[in-house]
Amino acid sequence: MNLIIDVGNSYIKLAVFKGDTLLETESINPSFFFKTINKLDQKYSKIDNAIVASVGRLDILDLKALKKRFNLFVLDVDSKLPFKNLYATPKTLGIDRVALVCASVDQFPDKNVLIIDAGTCITYDFIDYKNNYYGGAISPGISLRYKSLNAYTANLPLLEIKVPNQLIGDSTENAIHSGVINGVVNEIDGLINAYEDKYRDLTVILTGGDAKFLSKQLKSSIFANSNFLLEGLNYILHFNLNE
């Protein structure tokens, strides 16, 4: 069994895989890190391998403790990957984006794939059918757009995410909802259309914290998978263990 550890800026996601089968996921505060690992290790007594991917911070002592318990693989910019990285600045490519591209290689081989990760930021990553990764785009996520309107203006309120009832906002709150949500939806649909114009037989994956919300709003045909990144990390672990 494999333990997947995805360290974000605010939370840590943990997952247990048996082969390619996802058995359990946890999203936790960093203060509960080892308590949750102990719980999972007791529940699944045959966890042998683990992978750590960190865009946040994981203490060196924590890594040492993990290495004592598991056959630990730490994903970084120098790790062996199952695709050709044509990004102009490969060492600046986020580990989370690397994992998403690896998941597409595993699950959609010989396909042109656009992966859209809708979280704090919305990232777009493109890999072609020859396993060449080119890059994509990064823009503010839904919550970030709401927060920015509140933080950088004098009078606009901070609102919770809400599907707008109408295109034309007839109040300040409705105008914000219309601007943010319709702006994100049209951005995503527009970029999908632009990629489809350039690349035939495009497969589009939508993942991330806002994937479920956005999948209901988009006009484009997509595959929504909230666990795509975890599946990608599990694949990277298999790929490197078998090298």
Gap between the Cα atoms of 36 and 216, Å rounded: 33
Give 136's contacts (C-beta < 8 A, 6+ positions apart). 97, 114, 115, 123, 124, 125, 126
| 19: nearest Cα among 235, 240, 243 | 235
Gap between the Cα atoms of 232 and 243, Å rounded: 17
| 25: nearest Cα among 13, 35, 37, 33 | 13
* Per-position b or e across 4-31, b if 16+ CB within 10 A of its CB: bbbbbeeebbbbbbeeeeeeeeeeeebe
Gap between the Cα atoms of 150 and 139, Å rounded: 18
Gap between the Cα atoms of 231 and 100, Å rounded: 8
Place of tokens 């946890």: 26
Catalytic positions are: 96
